[in-house]
C-alpha cells in the first residue's frame, strides 16, 4: 500500500472515530426524561420513574449513577439496581426528594444516568434523567373553604328506586387561618319536576339561604342533602356551592347525582332520562 493510500485510510479512520465519539457524547449529554418537584422547605415527595425495555433481548442489571448536581443531597433513588427486565417489560425506580427545613428557596438541578445492559450489540447508551427541584415557601391561604360529598372532592352518584329518599353527607371545612363564616348557597338543579330536594342542618330543613356556618380555622361541620324522585329512568344533578364570607372569591362546590331505577313491574320513562357524567 502506498503512503498516499495509508494516509487516506488513517484520516478516514480518525474521522469515523471522531464521529463515533461525537455521537456518544451527544447521546450521553442529552436528557432522556425530566422529573419536576415543587416543595416548600421541610417538604418531601416521591415520584415513580418507569423504564420499558424496547430491545429485542432482555435487559439485565439496570442501574443508575449516584445523583449529582446542586441539589443532590436532597434526592435518593431506589432501588439501586433492577436485576432484569424482559422484552417489552417494565421496571420502576422511585425518586424521593426531601427538602431540609433550612433549605434556601430557589431552583435546583440534579441528574442521574441510567444504564441498560443487554445481550445485543451495540449496547444501548446510558440515559440521563434530570430531576428539577423548585423550593419555595408554602403559600398560606388567609381565607378558604373546602366542600366534600360523602368524602369525595367533587361528585357522588347514587341509584335509588322511585319514591325512595337518598342521602348525601356534605362536609364543610374552613381551610383559612382564622374564624370565618361559611355561606352555603341554595342547591341548584334543572327541571326538578317529580323531584324533592331538601338540605338539612342540625336535623332541621334549611329554608333560608345562604345557610350560615361559623367555623374556626381548620374546623368542619356537616350538612345533609336528601333527594327523592318519582319517575323511573330519570336522574337529577344537584350542585351545592359554599363561599367564604370574608372573601367571596374563595368558593368550592360539589355535585350529587341521583338515578331513579325501576322497581319490579315498573315501566321506565326513557324519554325523560338524561345521561349526566361527573
- Same domain for 155 and 94? no
Angstrom CA distances, 256 to 11, 61, 150, 197, 275, stand at 77, 51, 10, 11, 14
In a domain, 259, yes or no: yes
- Same domain for 181 and 89? no
- Same domain for 151 and 131? no
In a domain, 55, yes or no: yes
pTM for this model (two decimals) = 0.52
- DSSP 3-state assignment of 276? coil
Pick from 232, 226, 224: nearest CA to 259:
232
Pick from 221, 136, 134, 152: nearest CA to 184:
221
Mean pLDDT for the stretch of residues 231-235: 92
Non-local (6+) Cβ contacts of 271 within 8 A are: none
pLDDT in tens, 175-222: 999 999 999 999 999 877 899 999 999 989 999 999 999 999 999 999
In a domain, 255, yes or no: yes
- Percent of the chain past pLDDT 90, that is, above it, reads 66
Give dist(CA 208, CA 212) in Å, integer: 9
pLDDT at 266: 56
pLDDT at 162 over 80: yes
Pick from 263, 151, 169, 154: nearest CA to 223:
169
Cell of 240: 351545592
Mean pLDDT for the stretch of residues 47-64: 87
pLDDT at 25: 39
Domain carrying residue 44: 29-135
- Same domain for 105 and 217? no
Residue after which a domain boundary falls, among 135, 160, 175: 135
What does pLDDT average to over the chain? 85
pLDDT in tens, 4-53: 555 444 544 555 544 444 444 344 445 579 999 999 999 999 999 998 88
- Same domain for 183 and 105? no
- Same domain for 252 and 161? yes
CATH code of the domain containing 252 = 2.60.40.10
- Same domain for 192 and 225? yes
Mean pLDDT for the stretch of residues 67-93: 93
- Same domain for 164 and 264? yes
- Same domain for 161 and 256? yes
Q: What are phi and psi of 177, to 5 degrees?
A: -105, 5
Domain count, the chain: 2
Cell of 220: 368542619
In a domain, 256, yes or no: yes
Give dist(CA 145, CA 178) in Å, integer: 12
- Same domain for 262 and 160? yes
pLDDT at 109 over 70: yes
- Same domain for 162 and 246? yes
* pLDDT confidence tier of residue 271, bands split at 50, 70 and 90: very low
Element containing residue 14 per DSSP (H, E): helix 3-29
The alpha helices in 87-178, defined as continuous H runs, are none
Amino acid at each position: 500500500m502506498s503512503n498516499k493510500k495509508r494516509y487516506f485510510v488513517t484520516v478516514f479512520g480518525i474521522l469515523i472515530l471522531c464521529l463515533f465519539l461525537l455521537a456518544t457524547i451527544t447521546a450521553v449529554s442529552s436528557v432522556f426524561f425530566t422529573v419536576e418537584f415543587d416543595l416548600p422547605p421541610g417538604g418531601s415527595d416521591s415520584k415513580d420513574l418507569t423504564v420499558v425495555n424496547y430491545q429485542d433481548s432482555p435487559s439485565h442489571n439496570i442501574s443508575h449513577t449516584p445523583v449529582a448536581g446542586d441539589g443532590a443531597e436532597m434526592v435518593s433513588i431506589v432501588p439501586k439496581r433492577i436485576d432484569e427486565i424482559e422484552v417489552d417489560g417494565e421496571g420502576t425506580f422511585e425518586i424521593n426528594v426531601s427538602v431540609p427545613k433550612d433549605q434556601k428557596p430557589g431552583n435546583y438541578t440534579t441528574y442521574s444516568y441510567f444504564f441498560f445492559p443487554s445481550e445485543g450489540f451495540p449496547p444501548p447508551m446510558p440515559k440521563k434523567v434530570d430531576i428539577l427541584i423548585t423550593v419555595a415557601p408554602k403559600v398560606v391561604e388567609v381565607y378558604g373553604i373546602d366542600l366534600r360529598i360523602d368524602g369525595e372532592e367533587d361528585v357522588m352518584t347514587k341509584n335509588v328506586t322511585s319514591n325512595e329518599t337518598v342521602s348525601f353527607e356534605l362536609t364543610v371545612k374552613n381551610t383559612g387561618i382564622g374564624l370565618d363564616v361559611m355561606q352555603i348557597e341554595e342547591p341548584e338543579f334543572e327541571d326538578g319536576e317529580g323531584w324533592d330536594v331538601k338540605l338539612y342542618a342540625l336535623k332541621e330543613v334549611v329554608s333560608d339561604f345562604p345557610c350560615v356556618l361559623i367555623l374556626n380555622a381548620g374546623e368542619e361541620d356537616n350538612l345533609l342533602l336528601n333527594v327523592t324522585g318519582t319517575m323511573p329512568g330519570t336522574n337529577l344533578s344537584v350542585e351545592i356551592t359554599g363561599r367564604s364570607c370574608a372573601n367571596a372569591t374563595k368558593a368550592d362546590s360539589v355535585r350529587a347525582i341521583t338515578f331513579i331505577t325501576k322497581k319490579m313491574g315498573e315501566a321506565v320513562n326513557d324519554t325523560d332520562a338524561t345521561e349526566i357524567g361527573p
